[in-house]
Amino acid sequence: MANMDFLKDEIAQLKTENRFIEPAVLEDMQNAVCTINGKKVINLTSNNYLCMTAHPKVISAAVEATKKYGIGTAAVRTIIGTTSLHEELEKRLAEFKGTEASLVIQSGFTSNTAVCQSLMTSPQDVLISDELNHASIIDGGRLSKAKKLIYRHSDMQHLKEILDMPEVKQARRRLLVTDGVFSMDGDICNLPEIVKLCAPRDVMVMVDDAHASGVIGPQGRGTVAHFGLKGKVDIQIGTLSKAFAAIGGYVAGSANLKAYMQSVARPFLFSSSHPPAVVATCLAGLDVIYNEPERLKKLWDNTKFFKEELKKAGFDTGHSETPITPVMVGDSAKAKQLSAMLFEEGVFALAICFPTVPRGKERLRTIVTSGHELKDLEKAVAAFKKCGKELGLI
Ligand SMILES: *Cc1c(COP(=O)(O)O)cnc(C)c1O
């Protein structure tokens, strides 16, 4: 065995930088209130926007699919890993997103890497990316052969300058990628302006709707529907791991995009497909989204209430427009301390530190769901006020 003592040094370094992470352990069903590390807490951390984790119809769909198709596929999609459920899900996700076709891939993360890697195959290609895009888009850029050009967060003037650069004009292919809803700040990308700038310059637009699908736009259809831009965005990425509470991602776009990706996208070709239970969960989740609009309404009512109360209390909650509400702290140690103090008060909200956010932008990130009761949110706000005062944040 080799000497791996360097890991001890690395861990010590992470600890001195307040970057060492030990995951909390959930001990019962994930809900607005659940048990973590032995304590019952109000959960403000999850992407379970519509409380799909605990929906009886979704749970029974997973059980029924397991009985009919078995536990797993034991193969990649292109071998024997495509069941009729997978086919049905892709048709219905395309309908959800208003596109010709969709392709389900292992995760949202690999959907982003798959598209960037499959479309951007030459140093003559350019990938244009918002500086706050998700890590999976950054890794997608690394796996692509394209030249990367980064614009300041949602800065449309800077984007225009980049788009007018000769190397962009002369590129073989141009792809702009943006998060639909930015995962750490909760703001929505300026998609109308992006489309306006990109369309006349023959730049493909790709929007990653991980935090937007099921959450914004009519029936939670995402950023494109939110802005009424159906048919104007080339590629939409969705995740099945957040509002759908299962696991997986998808690429929605033209039939040709799907046909091409099916033959070349490396995660699709070389990693096994979703178990039938997961696929059935997502199909049932779509039914819930269409048939129970009261969930989306409750999500937004809760969002407005919680955001307003935190603001009234004097917290800096950034410029979020969605159920993701950051509570800015500006220091790793203090952010972790606030999180620990809230936990003692029965509220679970995690500190987000460098490198997930830039240094000085450390924060607690909160997410409310449709499952929170008013009394949960009132209790959470009271705890925030108490701990925030003790730490001198308000
Ligand atoms: C969570 C997230 C992903 C990754 O999705 P998974 O399905 O969890 O792999 C991709 N992009 C953004 C913007 C995200 O927030």
CATH number (domain holding residue 142)? 3.40.640.10
Asked if the structure places residue 283 within a domain, the reply is yes
Asked if the structure places residue 145 within a domain, the reply is yes
Note the pLDDT tens digit of each residue in 88-106.
999 999 999 999 999 999 9
- One domain for residues 226 and 311: no
Give the ligand 1 atom nearest the CA of 183: 15
Task: Supply 367's token pair.
Answer: 């997410």
Concatenate the DSSP letters of all residues of 308-371 into one string.
Answer: HHHHHTT---TT--SSEEEEE---HHHHHHHHHHHHHTTEE-EEE-TTTS-TT--EEEEE--TT
Q: Reply yes or no on whether the pLDDT at 18 is more than 90.
A: no
- One domain for residues 279 and 155: yes
Domain boundary among 290, 324, 354: 290
pTM, two decimal places: 0.96
- One domain for residues 154 and 282: yes
Domain boundary among 240, 272, 290: 290
Note the pLDDT tens digit of each residue in 227-270.
999 999 999 999 999 999 999 999 999 999 999 999 999 999 99
Which residue is closest in CA terms to ligand 1's atom 7?
108
Asked if the structure places residue 71 within a domain, the reply is yes
Site of tokens 């450390």: 362
Q: What letter represents residue 204's amino acid? A: M
Give the ligand 1 atom nearest the CA of 181: 13
Q: Reply yes or no on whether the pLDDT at 394 is more than 90.
A: yes
Asked whether 37 and 339 are in contact (CB, 8 A), the reply is no
Q: Reply yes or no on whether the pLDDT at 110 is more than 90.
A: yes
Cα separation, 78 vs 82, whole angstroms: 7
| Host H or E run for residue 35 | strand 33-36
CATH number of the domain encompassing residue 375: 3.90.1150.10
Asked if the structure places residue 60 within a domain, the reply is yes
- One domain for residues 222 and 160: yes
Asked if the structure places residue 1 within a domain, the reply is no
| Total domains present in the chain | 2
Cα separation, 205 vs 190, whole angstroms: 12
C-alpha 248 to ligand 1 mean position (Å): 9
Mean pLDDT score of the chain: 97
C-alpha 310 to ligand 1 mean position (Å): 26
Sheet with 363-367: list strands edge to edge. Answer: 324-328, 363-367, 350-352
Ligand 1 site-directed mutation target among 138, 139, 241, 320, most atoms within 8 Å of CB: 241
pLDDT score recorded for residue 17: 84
| Catalytic residue set | 183, 211, 242
Ligand 1 site-directed mutation target among 116, 136, 184, most atoms within 8 Å of CB: 136
Ligand 1 site-directed mutation target among 93, 130, 183, 206, most atoms within 8 Å of CB: 183
DSSP letter assigned to residue 22: -
Which residue is closest in CA terms to ligand 1's atom 1?
210
Asked whether 134 and 179 are in contact (CB, 8 A), the reply is yes
- One domain for residues 137 and 260: yes
pLDDT score recorded for residue 68: 96
End-to-end, the C-alpha distance of the chain in Å comes to 53
Query: Does residue 275 have a cis bond before it (omega within 30 degrees)?
Result: no
Q: Which residues form ligand 1's pocket by a CB distance below 6 Å?
A: 107-109, 112, 134, 136, 179, 183, 208, 210-211, 239, 241, 249
| Backbone dihedral angles phi then psi of residue 207, each to the nearest 5 degrees | -120, 130
Domain boundary among 259, 290, 321: 290
**pLDDT-derived band at 23, boundaries 50, 70, 90:** very high
Note the pLDDT tens digit of each residue in 320-374.
999 999 999 999 899 999 999 999 999 999 999 888 888 899 999 999 999 999 9
C-alpha 344 to ligand 1 mean position (Å): 30
C-alpha 383 to ligand 1 mean position (Å): 29
Opening angle at CA 134, ends 132 and 138, nearest 5: 90
Give the ligand 1 atom nearest the CA of 134: 13
Cα separation, 323 vs 208, whole angstroms: 17
C-alpha 210 to ligand 1 mean position (Å): 5
Ligand 1 site-directed mutation target among 46, 104, 109, 206, most atoms within 8 Å of CB: 109
Asked if the structure places residue 212 within a domain, the reply is yes
For residues 71-95, average pLDDT:
97
C-alpha 19 to ligand 1 mean position (Å): 21
Distances from the Cα of 257 to the Cαs of 54, 114, 176, 195, in angstroms?
34, 12, 16, 19
Range of the domain at 205: 56-290
- One domain for residues 275 and 348: no
Cα separation, 34 vs 31, whole angstroms: 6
- One domain for residues 262 and 119: yes
Q: Reply yes or no on whether the pLDDT at 19 is more than 90.
A: no
Note the pLDDT tens digit of each residue in 38-56.
999 999 999 999 999 999 9
- One domain for residues 65 and 48: no
- One domain for residues 174 and 273: yes
Asked if the structure places residue 13 within a domain, the reply is no
In sequence order, which residues have a C-beta less than 8 Å from that of residue 298 and are 6 or more positions away?
A: 370
Which residue is closest in CA terms to ligand 1's atom 2?
210
Cα separation, 174 vs 33, whole angstroms: 45
C-alpha 271 to ligand 1 mean position (Å): 18
Asked if the structure places residue 11 within a domain, the reply is no
- One domain for residues 242 and 300: no
- One domain for residues 45 and 125: no
- One domain for residues 268 and 299: no
Give the ligand 1 atom nearest the CA of 110: 9
